Amino acid sequence: MAYDHQSDPRIDPRVKMALDFLPGDETRTFATRDDAIAAANTSEALAIAELTREVLEACDEESVVSSKGLRVELRKVISSPDGNEIILQIIRPDNDDVLPCVYYIHGGGMATGTALWGNYRAFGKMIATNGVVVVMVDFRNSLQPSSVSELAPFPGGLNDCLSGLRWTHEHAAELGVDASSIVVSGESGGGNLTLATGLALKKAGDIGLVKGLYAFCPFILGTYPDPAFPSTIENNGIFINLEGNGMVIGYGIEQIESRNPLAWPYHASDDDLKGLPPIIISVNECDPLRDEGIAMYRRLLAAGVDARGRMILGTMHATEVIPNIHPDLSRDGAQHVAAFAKS
């Protein structure tokens, strides 16, 4: 019998209501990255992306999150080493206080989406209302353009995230940011890039640039399904579907074949993990990615990292960053990551 989310007693009724209106997640297997890019950029695929944007704009309404006392601006930044242009969205309390910073990386499997969608703007406002500066980086996606037209496989998106973070440090005084209190956060593919940013900074001897990492529902394993991670089977199809290889091949199939930890952080060695700053891993109960996040939390503990784990019951993948589904839950997540930056 086909899965019916309405009969699943685990799922919060508000999440069930959202699932009634969310389209199914179509999956396909591709022979090459070029094939995956072509499929992601057909007129039909781009129309679906535009419809998604329109739906998510409804998250950024006063009834969901107030804009009072906040200011929002966009900055264009040159990324290194490719010299490409990326966009940072900066949301902060409308004052001149020097505040901790949450540097946020959007989800979408490192392949799709943009930090300029309404749901991210709304979630960023929720974080900023807790007295922090939020910097959201719009990096190069691997399959479908973000706010910048250029596409790039690994390490393009990671380089953009690192470049935006370094720019934030260099311009901390101008932004009213306490450079000693910057945490990196993100969900799903952004959770991958959050952990990868930490690993890359450590490798470069620059881990002191961040005081912590906070990954929501991180997409870090790269090979699915995997019986060692039961959620990849039991929860598959609840909002997201892990079948197919579009996002993996889009990011670079050789990266998963080599188990490159900067591309797929679950495959980091104990030595790679040792010395990372405090990390919070937050997972959703009814998410196919739940178990890889839990396993990563345990690997971090075993490597001596100050790690904390959090599971949000009744929720699908990335529920917190679609704030009109369950605004109170999104506010809880925003408060939690802001408190982490301030602590």
Rama region for 243: left / alpha / beta (φ>0; ψ in -120 to 50; rest): beta
* DSSP 3-state of 283: strand
Q: How confident is the model at residue 22 (pLDDT cuts 50, 70, 90)?
A: confident
Residues 292-308 have pLDDT tens digits of: 999 999 999 999 999 99
What is the mean predicted confidence (pLDDT) over 20-29? 82
User: What's the mean per-residue pLDDT of the chain?
Assistant: 97
Q: What is the mean pLDDT of residues 178-187?
A: 98
CATH, range 5-342: 3.40.50.1820
Q: Answer whether 213's CB lies under 8 Å from 183's CB.
A: yes
pLDDT at residue 1, as a whole number: 60
Q: Which pLDDT band, with edges at 50, 70 and 90, does 213 fall under?
A: very high
Mean pLDDT, rounded, for 286-291: 98
Provide the pLDDT for residue 84.
98
Mean pLDDT of the 222-231 span: 97
Tens-digit pLDDT profile for residues 118-172: 999 999 999 999 999 999 999 999 999 999 999 999 999 999 999 999 999 999 9
Helices (H) and strands (E) in the chain, counts: 12, 8
* Neighbouring C-beta atoms of residue 66, cutoff 10 Å: 12
Q: What is the mean pLDDT of residues 204-221?
A: 98
Q: Is residue 26 very low, low, confident or very high in pLDDT (cuts 50, 70, 90)?
A: confident
User: Of 325 and 26, which is predicted with more confidence?
Assistant: 325
Distance between CA 209 and CA 212 in Å, rounded?
A: 9
Instruction: Indicate the burial class of 97 (C-beta count within 10 angstroms; 0-12, 13-18, 19 or more).
Output: exposed
pLDDT at position 198: 99
Encode pLDDT of 48-101 as tens digits.
999 999 999 999 999 999 999 999 999 999 999 999 999 999 999 999 999 999
